[in-house]
Each structure stands twice: as structure tokens, then as C-alpha cells.
Structure 1
Amino acid sequence: MNSSLPNENKEKAPQHTNGPQIVPAAAPSSGSNSSKGAAGPSSQYVVGVPPQQAVAPTWSTGLFECFDDIPTLIITAFAPCVTFGQIAEMVDRGQNSCGLYALLHAGILYFTGCGCLLSAYYRIKMSHLYKLPDDPIINILVHLICEPCALCQEYRELQARGFNMQLGVGWRNQSPEIQQSGGHTVPPKVPEGMTR
């Protein structure tokens, strides 16, 4: 590219960019220890706008916080198909009833003993839907090793997103806001002890 500015004026000409401004860093003080590897000329610039850090998606509760909701834990321990049916109905946005999903899970569990694979599929589906950690292998392993804990965690996640998860409510009896949004985003947790 040819420019009408002479070479010595190119350095002084203002640069117009749409990106972050690069500002020269302050010169190091003369008393700094240069034996620790002084920074070269390329590291004397500081970017004017810090890069935005993405927050890693997380579940609203931990996998082993089952005892926070004892009734759900008891139902899931003795009849995991009921909890699975409620979760699947919400994840599928009411395409089928809780009872149908529960019967499907119970049938697969009774005839093959692998009902956890169906519930793992819905955990993966829920992870994609709500942008949760969605490593499929981890999600399958969680259901293979401890399906009741996984189902309880998914149940609590839907509750945290505003769903009314009481047995018999179902998708059709959810509030219109929940039906339109499919579950609002959970606000980030604020550490305890912060006061104004």
C-alpha cells in the first residue's frame, strides 16, 4: 500500500481501529530487578479493554445435595420412573404426559435393567437445552453410577428455573411465562455474607 505520508510521519499518524486501543505501558522503575527476566519491548503494551471472561455453566445444585429435598429423594429412591416422568415431560415441553414417560422408563428398567440409559439421554437433552455442562460421557456415567442422585439434581434444576414440579401439575398447568420461555435462566448465586 502506498501512502502520501513520509516514513517519519507514519509513526505519528493516528491509527483508527474498531478494536481495543493499545496504550504503551508505564516504563519500569529504575530500581526494578532485571535479573528476573525483564520484559522485552513487545510486552510494553497494555490492552485498553480487558477481554470478557465467559462464566462456565453450572448446575444450580450439586449432585449429592439430595438431602436438601427429602420427599423427592424418597420418591426417587423407591420409584425413579416417577421422577424421570416429571423431568421428561418438562424437558419435552409437554409432548407426552408424565405417566407415559414413567411407564416407558419402568418398562425399560423391568425388561432390560437399563432405564438409566433413557434418563441419561434426557439429562444430555436438558444440558443442551439449558446450556449446562453437557459432556455426554460424564452424563451417562452419572446415571449409570448414581441414577437417583442424578434424577434428584435434574428435578431441583427444573425447580430452580421456575417450574412447579409437584406431582400432577404437569406441563399444561405451568404458568404462561414458563411455557413461553421453557424455564427462565437461573440468576448467579451471590456468596453469603454480602450486605449493603
Structure 2
Amino acid sequence: MSSSAPQDNKDKAPQPTNDAQPAPAAQSSNTSAASESNSGKGETGQTNQQVVGVPPQQGMMPTWSTGLFECFDDIPTLLITFFAPCVTFGQVAEMVDRGQNSCGLYAMLHAGILYFTGCGCLLSAYYRIKMSQLYNLPNDPLINILVHLICEPCALCQEYRELQARGFNMQLGVGWRNQTPEIQQTGGIMVAPKVPGGMSR
């Protein structure tokens, strides 16, 4: 009796259960999950590297709605500007300054500077620079000054046509006060830049 009891106890000794066996499988699943997450991170890193490596798209360069030498598209304005540049300058300056002063006052100021110093083009160049900043046009002060020094009538006609393209009524006698409320509030519509030839899709 006494000799069989220890054997029974040995037989009844706790056997290792199978619950501990899945540990390697769980470990392998954790390892595979970690590898997948690492691979996912690697793919994300590669994707980010690809996005970073892509050069940024070049935006459209700001341009005037018409060219500098397209004066003959509007003969009446060309003739007025050629013989009396102060008139066209007055019209442009009144719109750029949002009607702070009348066209006549700007015209007399330009004519006075032109008569006494011969440098009325410097005043009109200042307003070209101001207009370029206002409408996000090519804004190189040196170029703008040179354009007015070399060919002020062409520059004034281009500014006149630009304002027309933006919805302003540029006829003599209309002025800022007689513009539409929409134009007075927005300062003119935005014009899509011209796409150079050969770049159309």
C-alpha cells in the first residue's frame, strides 16, 4: 500500500499543459506583425522619399494680358497717348489709386512735370510699378522704369488695355465713380495669364 502511493503520486504529478505550447506561434505572429509594420514603415518612407524627390510644379509666371507693342489694336487710344500722354496717364492713375483724385488732376500733374523737367515718364513709371504690385504683374522696377523711359506711349497703352481687360470702363469722362459697384469693390477681375506658344496641352 505504501509503495503504491508514491507511484500514484508520480502518476498524478501535474503534466505540462498544452497552453504553453502556442507561445512560439504567438511569438512568430508577433514577429511577422512587427516585420509587416516595419515593411509598412519602409514603404511609407519610400513613398515619402518619392514625394519629397518630386520637383515642385512651376507656377505660371505673371504676365500682362496684352503685349507691349500691341498698341495698334486700339488706334484711338494710341493716337491720344502719342500726342497727349498725360490724358492716358490720368485715366490709368485714377483707376490704380481707386479714385483718390480725378483724371484731370493726374493729367495736369504729369503735364506739369513733363513741361518743366521733361521727366513725366518717371511719374508714369511709378504708377506702372504700383499697378504691377496691385495686380501681380511682372514687377521688376528697373524694367518698368526703362519701359517708360524708352517708349512711354507703348507702356501707357499697355496699362490702359490691362485695365480694360480687368473690366474697367476706360472711356474718357467715366472715371472711377462711374465704374460698376463690383469693379469698385474688387478693383477689377483677375485675368488668367497667357500661356506661351508650345506649352498648350
Question: Structure 2 length normalisation: TM-score?
Answer: 0.73
Cα distance in 2 for partners of 1:94, 1:46 equals 48
- In structure 2, give the amino acid aligned to 1:91: V
Q: 1:12 aligns with which of 21, 39, 48?
A: 39
Is 1:146 matched up with 2:173? no
Alignment of 1:116-127 (within 5 A): 116-127=121-132
| Residue identity opposite 2:153 in structure 1 | P
* 5+ residue gaps, structure 2: 1-30
Task: Report the CA distance between 1:12 and its aligned residue.
Answer: 1.2
**d(CA) in 2 for partners of 1:150, 1:21:** 52
Are 1:73 and 1:152, in contact at CA under 8 Å, matched by a contact in 2? yes
1:81 pairs with one of 79, 86, 89: 86
Equivalent position of 2:63 in the other structure: 58
Residues 159, 15 of structure 1: CA spacing in aligned structure 2 closer, same or farther, 3 A cutoff? Answer: farther
CA separation of 1:184 and 1:110: change in aligned 2, threshold 3 A? same
CA offsets 1:30-63 (integer angstroms, 9 cap, x no match):
xxxxxxxxxxxx9xx5769773331100000000
**Partner SS for 1:14:** helix
Residues 188, 21 of structure 1: CA spacing in aligned structure 2 closer, same or farther, 3 A cutoff?
A: farther
Quote the sequence identity (%): 80
User: What is residue 26 of structure 1 aligned with on the other side?
Assistant: none
> Which secondary structure does the structure 2 equivalent of 1:173 belong to?
coil
Label 1:50 to 1:137 Cα distance change in 2 as closer, same or farther (>3 A).
closer
Distance 1:179 1:88 in 2: 15
5 Å matches for 1:27-38?
A: none
Say what the alpha-carbon RMSD is for the aligned residues. Answer: 3.0
Structure 1 range deviating more: 7-16 or 74-83: 7-16
- Give per-residue Cα distances to partners, 1:56-84, cap 9 Å, x unaligned: 00000000000000000000000000000
Aligned pairs for 1:129-144 within 5 A: 129-144=134-149
Aligned residues: 166
Q: CA–CA distance in 2 between the matches of 1:179 and 1:161?
A: 12
Rounded Cα–Cα distance in structure 2 between residues aligned with 1:103 and 1:16: 69
Change (3 A) 1:21 1:155: farther
Alpha-carbon distance in structure 2 between the residues aligned to 1:104 and 1:158 = 21
Residues 1:159 and 2:141 aligned together: no
Which sections of structure 1, spanning at least 5 residues, go unmatched? 24-41
Task: Kindly indicate which of the two structures has a greater share of residues assigned to helix.
Answer: 2
Q: Which moved more, 1:130-139 or 1:51-60?
A: 51-60
3-state DSSP of counterpart to 1:134: coil
Corresponding residue of 2:13: none
Q: Assess if the C-alpha contact under 8 Å between 2:60 and 2:193 holds in 1.
A: no
Q: Distance in 1 between matches of 2:184 and 2:88?
A: 20
Which of the pair has the greater relative contact order for Cα pairs under 8 Å at 6+ separation? 2
